[in-house]
């Protein structure tokens, strides 16, 4: 795969709608979500809890609750529609095409198998026949685990959260995927470790020419590493643009409030400006713009729909009054 080809989309999601049907009603978790990840880039998918960022990722890899139903949309990844392909094709995509790392690395590692052996299993699965042990040690080196030979036989419980996340990254790298989905990879780690792990993800992705979809609620974190950022609110993608454009010239009112709510420098707690209101109840019937109830720019014509469009050919926005 040529990392230089930045124009071609590696993953192209179009009009993905998904709902959870349960006894309490139908939750329309995603509505007409469209976004693309280009080869080699890091795209940040940002939004508050419940905005649908993780659901989008899980829908791509089809590991969803039985109550989840994709009602519309396609997700093309290297010639395969992830939402329509059969189980065998899906297994081929998982790991080799798209790998994923999780919020709680310790829970994602088998507690009774030494971590080095888990990497060996992943390598063998990826088709590394001989010398899996040496290859596993090399991977551990690559994610900067000091003293890899000694840590090889350690159980996940004997390692710190940061080390476990490094092991997870090594596991994800084992099959040389084209796309890495990192779902809140640094939540639960302390702040200094967070930065180190984010740098590591960015570094390994760059080295491997691997695209990354970084799912996070932390706009500042996404701002540090991502090439582009997509902002989600209540199951809608409201804005997608290059990181600098999002941080310096945000267009959507929600993105602006999100930026304003970030603590900066020496700020007193009272100076923080939280976004008024909460996410709307996704079970109720919603206005075309799901941010309308919280929006300070709300106008009468907003009920005609958020008018999704490209601003100056590069800045996607779904708002009538940017």
Where do contacts with other proteins occur on this chain (CB under 8 A)? 61, 63, 91-96, 99-100, 102, 104, 107-113, 121-122, 125, 150-151, 153-155, 158-160, 162-163, 168, 171-172, 174-175
Distance CA 131, CA 172 (A): 18
Closest contact distance (angstroms) between CB of 289 and other proteins is 34
Q: Is the dihedral of CA 313, 222, 227, 57 positive or negative?
A: negative
How many CB atoms sit inside 10 A of residue 220's CB?
A: 13
Question: Looking at beta carbons only, is 121 or 292 nearer to other proteins?
Answer: 121
Nearest to 215 by CA among 251, 179, 191: 179
Q: In the complex with other proteins, which residue's Cβ is closer, 11 or 259? A: 11
The sign of the CA dihedral 231, 40, 95, 202 is negative
Q: Which is nearer to other proteins, 184 or 239 (CB)?
A: 184
Q: Measured from the CB atom, is 136 or 319 closer to other proteins? A: 136
Residues with Cβ within 8 Å of 133's Cβ and at least 6 positions away in sequence, in order, are: 116, 120, 152
Least separation in angstroms between CB 190 and other proteins: 10
Burial of 288 (0-12, 13-18, 19+ CB in 10 A): middle
Classified as helix, coil or strand, 293 is helix
> Is the CB of 19 or the CB of 183 nearer to other proteins?
183
CB nearer to other proteins: give 67 or 314: 67
Instruction: Give the span between the Cα atoms of 100 and 29, in whole angstroms.
Output: 21
The CB-of-110 to other proteins minimum distance in angstroms stands at 5
Task: State the minimum distance, in angstroms, from the CB of residue 62 to other proteins.
Answer: 10
Between CA 183 and CA 187 the distance in angstroms is: 9
List the one residue out of 141, 136, 131 whose CA is nearest residue 113: 136
What's the half-sphere exposure (Cβ side, CA atoms, 13 Å) at 202? 17
User: Rounded to an integer, what distance in angstroms lies between the CA atom of residue 231 and that of residue 237?
Assistant: 6
* Strand, helix or coil for residue 311: strand
Nearest distance in Å: CB 122, other proteins = 6
Tokens of 49: 């809890």
**Least gap, CB of 38 to other proteins (angstroms):** 22
In the complex with other proteins, the residue whose CB is nearer, 17 or 104, is 104
- For the bound state, the minimum distance from the C-beta of residue 198 to other proteins, rounded and expressed in Å, comes to 18
- Write out the two tokens for 137: 């040690």
Smallest separation, CB 6 to other proteins (Å): 27
Q: Which is nearer to other proteins, 73 or 105 (CB)?
A: 105
Residue (162 or 322) nearer to other proteins, CB: 162
- The nearest distance, CB 173 to other proteins, in angstroms, is 11
Which contacts of 47-50 are long-range, i.e. CB under 8 A and separated by 24 or more positions? 47/217, 47/231, 47/232, 47/233, 48/217, 48/233, 48/279, 49/217, 50/234, 50/279, 50/282
């Amino acid at each position: 795969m040529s990392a230089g080809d930045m124009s071609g989309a590696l993953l192209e999601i179009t009009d993905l709608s998904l709902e959870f049907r349960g006894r309490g009603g139908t939750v329309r978790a995603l509505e007409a979500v469209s976004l693309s990840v280009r080869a080699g880039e890091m795209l940040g998918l940002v939004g508050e809890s419940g905005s649908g960022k993780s659901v989008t990722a899980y829908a791509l890899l089809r590991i969803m609750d039985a109550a989840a139903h994709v009602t519309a949309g396609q997700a093309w990844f290297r010639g395969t529609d992830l939402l329509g392909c059969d189980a065998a094709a899906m297994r081929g995509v998982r790991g080799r095409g798209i790998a994923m790392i999780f919020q709680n690395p310790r829970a994602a590692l088998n507690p009774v198998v030494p971590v080095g052996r888990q990497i060996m299993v992943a390598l063998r699965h990826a088709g590394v026949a001989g010398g899996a042990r040496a290859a596993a040690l090399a991977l551990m080196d690559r994610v900067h685990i000091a003293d890899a030979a000694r840590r090889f036989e350690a159980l996940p419980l004997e390692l710190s959260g940061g080390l476990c996340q490094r092991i997870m990254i090594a596991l994800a790298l084992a099959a040389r995927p084209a796309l890495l989905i990192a779902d809140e990879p640094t939540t639960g780690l302390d702040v200094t470790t967070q930065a180190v792990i984010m740098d590591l993800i960015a570094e390994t992705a760059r080295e491997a020419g691997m695209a990354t979809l970084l799912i996070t609620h932390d706009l500042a974190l996404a701002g540090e590493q991502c090439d582009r950022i997509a902002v989600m609110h209540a199951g809608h993608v409201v804005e997608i643009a290059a990181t600098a454009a999002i941080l310096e010239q945000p267009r959507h009112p929600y993105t602006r409030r999100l930026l304003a709510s970030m603590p900066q420098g020496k700020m007193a707690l009272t100076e923080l400006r939280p976004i008024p209101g909460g996410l709307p109840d996704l079970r109720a019937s919603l206005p075309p713009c799901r941010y309308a109830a919280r929006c300070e720019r709300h106008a009468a014509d907003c009920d005609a729909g958020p008018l999704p469009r490209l601003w100056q050919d590069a800045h996607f926005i779904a708002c009538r009054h940017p």
